[in-house]
Amino acid sequence: MSRLYGLSPPSELTPNALKVLEKRYLKRDEANRVVETPQDLFLRVAENVASADRLYGKTEDEVEKTAEGFYKMMAGLEFLPNSPTLMNAGRELQQLSACFVLPVEDSIESIFETIKHTALIHKSGGGTGFSFSRLRPKNDVVKSTKGVSSGPVSFMTVYDAATEAIKQGGTRRGANMGILRVDHPDILEFITCKKGGDKLNNFNISVAVTESFMEAAEKGEEYDLINPRTGEVTGRLRADMVLNLMAEMTHQNGDPGLVFLDRVNRDNPTPELGPIESTNPCGEQPLLPYESCNLGSINLSKMVKDGNIDWERLREIVRRAVHFLDNVIDVNKYPLPIIETMTKGNRKIGLGVMGFADMLIKLGVPYDSQRGLEIGEAVMRFIQEESKAASEALAEERGVFPNYKGSIYDGVRKLRNATTTTVAPTGTLSIIANCSSGIEPIFALCYVRNVLSGQRLVEVHSLFEETAKKRGFYSSALMEKIALKGSLRGLGEVPEDVRRLFVTALDIDPEWHVRMQAAFQKHVDNAVSKTINLPHHATVEDVKKAFKLAYSLGCKGITIYRDGSREKQVLERGETSKLRSYIKPRSRPEKTYGVTYEIGTGCGSLYVTINEDERGEPFEVFARLGKAGGCASAQTEGLGRAASTILRSGIDPWEVVKHYKGISCDRPFRLGRNKVLSCADALGKALEKYLMEKSSSKEVKSLPETVPPWEGETTRAANGACPECGSPVVWVEGCRKCISNCGWSECE
């Protein structure tokens, strides 16, 4: 295709885009030297994907014309496919899909066969989702060995360890989604499995909640727990208590998210093939077992012309992008034959967007406004309609998807693809395209980058810089002030209309985040990846309100992240040195009230008293063995004093549970579920029981913050600093991402 090599090279790539392309996407030789330019990359992908047209009788000239169109929309940064396509198209690996769901059946053979398949997918650059809902609960019988099951969470740790050992194609760390139904007997263990932040770091987790559960939570009623092995009811829980616990854990560290499973399956296009049980790692792509999906995103910031949306250009790009994504299905090299069969049977594609926040800015519309919601819904409705028209045209030429008979479209509309739209996270793609991520608001207008030479460079959002210079209020001093503050709020030197237009993620009330997600979800086949960003001071009740609002507005799931809740290091900001604080315990009041638990241990009965402060939160612990005196009694008293000091210092009481539970000695007591390993283990379990009972009460109070925000420091610092450039890190779309767009991100 020599004609293609006369095309203009991409001209709008920023230094950060070039850096990301070089680091993650461009081909390298055996000596690890880059041997490809960005133009070469886009030509490679365009030629490879266009070659699928030959399967449908197109001439070489027609194939070349298709490739030219594909190249122009990628080089013009109007559309980009998901990362595996950019990385692998036209190369030996040729694995082009980003999203996979694998089944986990209730047998050791299935569990470890799926781990093997996961390794193959991660190696090729894909992410994986699993439902662990079919696994029998912890301590259930295993007939083949006469033993007991260790439960879903224990097997998740095995998957996590396998993921840690595999580097995705040399470019990305593996990412997983773990899902458990809310009616599984091990649901409480699952909800709390990531507390402390030291386990399952290669997993995002979500609870699959049903409509009946949400209704029971609203009414304060109980619901059944069902053993998936037998189908029998094994117990009951208060639904509002479980929802409260989910809110508390999400408040602590962002997990779990919620997936509204009944709603997902109402939109399952091929219900005769079975129910959908899981999604991909960021939650936007529900899939059947062994299905994969390839995604792509249109850069909406490129769809604005003279202050208005360029609908004709958007229509052209949508139709070309659907052609591109359908071709990817044919040229893709699948990790497993069964994945190829399922994927080609349904031919699902997921066309989404990025640069939406930039589009609104160019239109002069604030993100958190009714007009912003209306534009989001109108744009996605247009993309949905045009993508269906494009799929219909392909069906006329190439035929409907093989599993069309019995699908929701059977006899209604002939389509080439079972789904056409998904709003995915655009991580590094938005860096390449130099636009805002997905449908997220902008995260930072200005930020300070600490470079290796010790210099401090202030970098400014391009649209904000353009506006500031045009309006005459730009200055280096002001930009550095904005970078340190993290927002335009309260800056009188910035005109009010500019402050209103350039709102950042943490300026926006959580309700607007949820409403924007819901506006897009109305016209999306699959789901929408969106992080509901909460400020650091948000409460557990705020999290619960967001859960309920997402459900009531028709979202298919929800991911919430409270700023600073996954602290990894304290970031040095401004002219100050690293902040340090030495926590001092609060003084004990004259009176306290509490509860005492008796727990059997190998050293005798242990009496654990937990007293509350005036706010009704755990304040101190007294631990006493039934037999006074001796070394064991002294050590137990010491454990209680240590726990009291921790609690009186305002540290999260779950930290005590995490560190005390599991400590063992030479005198364990009892067997099975009620086994007590030591006095320390007993104390941890007593505090855990207390906290769980507190959660089940209707007047749930938020537990103390793990690390309070430092006075005078923006709370965004609590998310840590980028290990490559030192810029602040934000939590978005299931991943930690450097706001400087240097290319560093970490998906969990």
Q: DSSP labels for 545-586?
A: HHHHHHHHTT-SEEEEEETTTT---PPP-TTSPPP-----PP
Q: How confident is the model at residue 143 (pLDDT cuts 50, 70, 90)?
A: confident
Beta strands (DSSP E) in 23-181 are: 79-81, 99-102, 127-131, 141-142, 147-148, 167-168, 172-173, 176-181
CA gap 151, 602 in Å, rounded: 26
Task: Please give the share of the chain, as a percent, with pLDDT higher than 90.
Answer: 60
pLDDT at 454 over 70: no
For 695, counting Cβ atoms within 10 Å of its Cβ (0-12 exposed, 13-18 middle, 19+ buried), the class is buried
Q: How confident is the model at residue 701 (pLDDT cuts 50, 70, 90)?
A: very low
B/e letters for 67-90, b = 16+ CB within 10 Å, e = fewer, are bbbbbbbbbbbbbbbbbbbbbbbb
User: What pairs with residue 292 in β-bridges?
Assistant: 100
- Answer with the residue of higher pLDDT: 4 or 126: 126
pLDDT at 183 over 90: yes
Pair 613, 592: CB distance under 8 Å: yes
CA gap 109, 135 in Å, rounded: 12
- Catalytic residue, chosen from 284, 386, 705, 748, is 284
Q: How confident is the model at residue 456 (pLDDT cuts 50, 70, 90)?
A: low
Mean pLDDT check: name the lowest of 36-45, 156-165, 298-307, 597-606. 597-606
Res 703: pLDDT: 35
Question: Closest Cα partner for 253 from 719, 737, 722, 746?
Answer: 719
pLDDT at 730 over 80: no
Query: What's the average model confidence in pLDDT over 633-655?
Result: 82
Sequence-ordered alpha helix ranges (H) in 258-336: 261-266, 311-331
Q: Which two tokens stand for residue 333?
A: 């090299």
Amino acid letter, 527: A
Beta strand pairing call for 557-562 and 531-534: parallel
Q: How confident is the model at residue 710 (pLDDT cuts 50, 70, 90)?
A: very low
CA gap 547, 564 in Å, rounded: 20
Q: Which two tokens stand for residue 183?
A: 């009616």
Res 568: pLDDT: 43
- Answer with the residue of higher pLDDT: 128 or 482: 128
CA gap 650, 583 in Å, rounded: 8
* Structural element, H or E, at residue 65: helix 60-75
By three-state DSSP, how is residue 224 classified? strand
Query: What's the average model confidence in pLDDT over 547-566?
Result: 92
pLDDT at 714 over 70: no
Res 629: pLDDT: 60
Query: What's the average model confidence in pLDDT over 358-385?
Result: 98
CA gap 740, 725 in Å, rounded: 8
CA gap 43, 433 in Å, rounded: 17
pLDDT at 383 over 80: yes
Pair 63, 52: CB distance under 8 Å: no
Res 88: pLDDT: 95
Q: Is the whole-model pTM more than 0.85?
A: no
Q: Which two tokens stand for residue 85?
A: 């396509």
Query: What's the average model confidence in pLDDT over 96-115?
Result: 95
Pair 309, 379: CB distance under 8 Å: yes
CA gap 472, 485 in Å, rounded: 21
- Within 10 Å of residue 230's Cβ, how many Cβ atoms? 11
- Answer with the residue of higher pLDDT: 734 or 504: 504
Res 554: pLDDT: 96
Res 451: pLDDT: 41
Q: How confident is the model at residue 677 (pLDDT cuts 50, 70, 90)?
A: confident
- Catalytic residue, chosen from 99, 282, 735, 738, is 282
Q: How confident is the model at residue 404 (pLDDT cuts 50, 70, 90)?
A: very high
Question: Closest Cα partner for 731 from 204, 315, 215, 359?
Answer: 204
CA angle 565, 569, 575 (to 5 degrees): 115
How far, rounded to the nearest angstrom, does the alpha carbon of residue 629 sit from its chain's CA centroid?
52
Res 173: pLDDT: 63
Query: What's the average model confidence in pLDDT over 322-330?
Result: 98
Q: How confident is the model at residue 601 (pLDDT cuts 50, 70, 90)?
A: confident
Annotated active-site residue 280? The verdict is: yes
- Answer with the residue of higher pLDDT: 650 or 522: 522
CA gap 128, 103 in Å, rounded: 10
Query: What's the average model confidence in pLDDT over 401-425?
Result: 96
Annotated active-site residue 665? The verdict is: no
Q: What average pLDDT does the chain have? A: 87
Annotated active-site residue 284? The verdict is: yes
- Catalytic residue, chosen from 16, 204, 280, 611, is 280
Mean pLDDT check: name the lowest of 39-53, 382-396, 607-621. 607-621
